[in-house]
Amino acid sequence: MAITVSYAIASIVAVPRSAEPLTTYAGVSTAAYAADLAAGLGLLAAGLLAWVEPRTRRLGLLALLAGIAWFGPDWEGWDGGTAFVRSLGPIVTPFFLALLFHLVLALPVGRLRSWPTRGSVIAAYGVAAFVSFGRALFRDPFLDPYCWRNCLYNSFLVHTDPGLARTLDDVWVRSSIVIGLLLVVMGALRLLRASGPARRVLLPTLVPGLLAGAGASAYAVALLRTPLEDPRSGRFSSIFLALSLSVAALALGLAWGVLETRRTRAAVSRLASELGEAPPPGTLRDALAAAMGDPALEVAYWLPGAQRFVDGRGHRTESPVPGHGRTVTPIVRDGRPVALVVHDAALLEGQALEREIGSAARLAVENERLQAEVLAQLDDLRASRSRIVETGDAERRRLERDLHDGAQQRLLALSYDLRLARAAAEAAGDREHATLLASGGDEAQAALGELRELAHGIYPAILAEAGLAPALATHADEAPLPVELDEVPPERYSTPVETAAYLTVTEAIADAVGREATFVSVDVVREDAQLVIEIRDDGAAGTSALLHIADRVGALGGSLEVEPQSLRVEIPCE
């Protein structure tokens, strides 16, 4: 840090403010001076900030080096500098573009992700080094027709070769165009391919980075067309201003990114305190998503007993897999993984998240996992309850059908036969047998009637055939007390829902009769995804527990409210 600070101070001293003699861009105008300092010092400051952070240390180093290289031209043109210092300037200068290239492609944490980027960065350094050292060894500034920053000194000169020096200049100018354009293209591709949260993080650094790349290219093109650089000309001075401002903005973006990462880390480690005493299911995911600025973040809890993953609400989820810019980070507590967090890879690297998440938050994660486990078991239980109820209902329906198609039909046929036999006996004048057959016919009719009642009691066919509304209307027709049935929604629901609703009403009516009510009013309405049944009567207080209704409604995830003279049931109906 001390080195950086002293370098910064030295640079401020070195950067000339006067225009005579004009040896650097900073001397052209106050604006150029300010922009030059802002870019270089900005890079140094942002680099220092990033360097302190372990996660962005490499990035910080790159920014620091770029900041040092940025001031190369100023050292070269330092009017009061020694020959050695003024000779060092042009050596570091070419590395600025290579470092900028590296820095922008290594965003956001300082690592190059693919072989092509790695290859091009190495190539850029190679060209920069070749040109830098070549010029140091063979360029005599005194013999350079285009020199303007320092036309006297080169402390490293071993052999004067103006032709070679000119070629090296030319190579560098052309390479700069290529590197600048590559930076623009590769950076733009990065930005286009990034996911939402990653783009949010990359934008403030990548965009100025691209502009700086474009500026470097523009500068090289200008040099190619006008080898004798004139800092006062509008073209050169505006390119310099644009380049400096882009670099300054890049430095600002870098600093913002580092601070943002710090904020995220702090938020993650503070997580537990924000959750409160008894957070509702799924709160942890929301809190973590907010802390990390990644709305698509998912948390999956592993249930060792059931051998599956569930979310905070206990619903089964797919086993999380990394990919498409998403990382899966396990959260470990007491050496056991308790949860997997799926999040955007660009925001906070997996290990960082696992490191930063505090022990209190770890406890909260374990808590939520236990809660999810209980919820998942409840879900299982509900499913099994509703399976039992459904199996029973299907069995009843089958029984009713068997009765209808079997015994009832046979009894019907028997009564038709008895009727015919009776008619035959009457025709033959056999009154004794006719009477006997008549009484047999009546018995068959009575049996048929009882069988019908029985079958209806086992399962009301009308419910399955025509639905809730007609079935309830029929029940109301036959009830032993007035039943006021408001318009029941005519649409069909699933069999378990219809059966539960039907039994709720019939049981409640029977219960009202038991409590000597003089009327029952039944109201069935659909409220969004709920079928709501409200039943009132004027019987004696004390509705019985209606346990098996509660069971059925509970099996469907519904609710039951019992009051002395009323009942309210809500059944989810998709």
Residues in contact with other proteins by CB under 8 A are 401, 404-405, 408-410, 412-413, 415-420, 423, 441, 445, 448-449, 452, 456, 461-462, 464-466, 469-470, 473-474, 476-485, 518-519
Q: What is the DSSP letter of 331?
A: E
What is d(CA 52, CA 280) in angstroms, rounded to the nearest whole number?
38
- For the bound state, the minimum distance from the C-beta of residue 574 to other proteins, rounded and expressed in Å, comes to 22
Helix, strand, coil in percent for the chain, rounding step 5? 65, 10, 25
What 3-state class would DSSP assign to 531?
A: strand
Selection from 111, 119, 102, 116 nearest residue 65 by Cα: 102
Q: Report, in Å, the least distance between residue 404 CB and other proteins.
A: 6
CA gap 97, 247 in Å, rounded: 11
Tokens of 413: 């046929």
Q: How far is the CB of 516 from other proteins (least distance, A)?
A: 14
Q: Around Cβ 57, how many Cβ atoms within 10 Å?
A: 14
d(CA 178, CA 106): 18
Chain Cα centroid distance, residue 375: 23
- Cis check for the bond before 460: say yes or no (omega within 30 of 0): no
CB of 320 to other proteins, least distance (A): 45
Provide, rounded to whole angstroms, the least separation between the CB of residue 481 and other proteins: 5
Compute the C-alpha angle 193/199/201, nearest 5°: 145
Burial class (CB in 10 A: 0-12, 13-18, 19+), 405: exposed
Q: Shortest distance, CB of residue 536 to other proteins, whole angstroms?
A: 13
Pick the closer one to other proteins by CB: 289 or 455. Answer: 455
Locate 183 and state its tokens: 């930076």
Shortest distance in whole angstroms from residue 507 CB to other proteins: 18
Alpha helices, H only, 293-430:
350-356, 359-405, 407-427
Pairwise CA distance, residues 546 & 568, whole Å: 12
Closer residue to other proteins, CB minimum distance, 34 or 466: 466
CA distance 69 to 100: 10
- Looking at residue 406, the DSSP 8-state letter turns out to be T
Enter the tokens of residue 169: 């200049």
Token pair listed for 59: 């990035």
Query: Tokens 């190059």 appear where?
Result: 112
Nearer of residues 85 and 461 to other proteins, judged by Cβ: 461
Distance (Å, whole) CA 288 – CA 264? 10
- Taking the least distance from each CB to other proteins, the nearer of 380 and 486 is 486
Looking at beta carbons only, is 160 or 521 nearer to other proteins? Answer: 521
* Contacts by residues 454-462 (CB-CB < 8 Å, ≥ 24 positions apart): 454/403, 455/400, 455/403, 455/404, 455/408, 456/400, 458/396, 458/399, 458/400, 458/403, 459/393, 459/396, 459/397, 459/399, 459/400, 460/502, 461/400, 461/404
3-state secondary structure of 571: strand
Closest approach, Cβ 485 to other proteins, in A, equals: 7
Of the pair 10, 466, the CB lying nearest other proteins is at 466
The CA distance from 266 to 29, in Å, is 43
C-beta of 196: minimal distance to other proteins in Å? Answer: 51
> How far is it, in rounded angstroms, from Cα 474 to Cα 261?
68
**Smallest distance, other proteins to C-beta of residue 400, A:** 10
Q: How far is the CB of 569 from other proteins (least distance, A)?
A: 22
Is the preceding omega at residue 145 within 30 degrees of 0, hence cis?
A: no
Q: Is the Cβ of residue 252 or residue 464 nearer to other proteins in the bound state? A: 464
Q: Min. distance of Cβ 385 from other proteins in angstroms? A: 28
Using N-to-C axis directions, what is the helix angle for 234-275 and 57-70, rounded to 10°?
160
CB of 511 to other proteins, least distance (A): 17
Least distance from C-beta 514 to other proteins, angstroms?
16
Tokens of 566: 């009323």
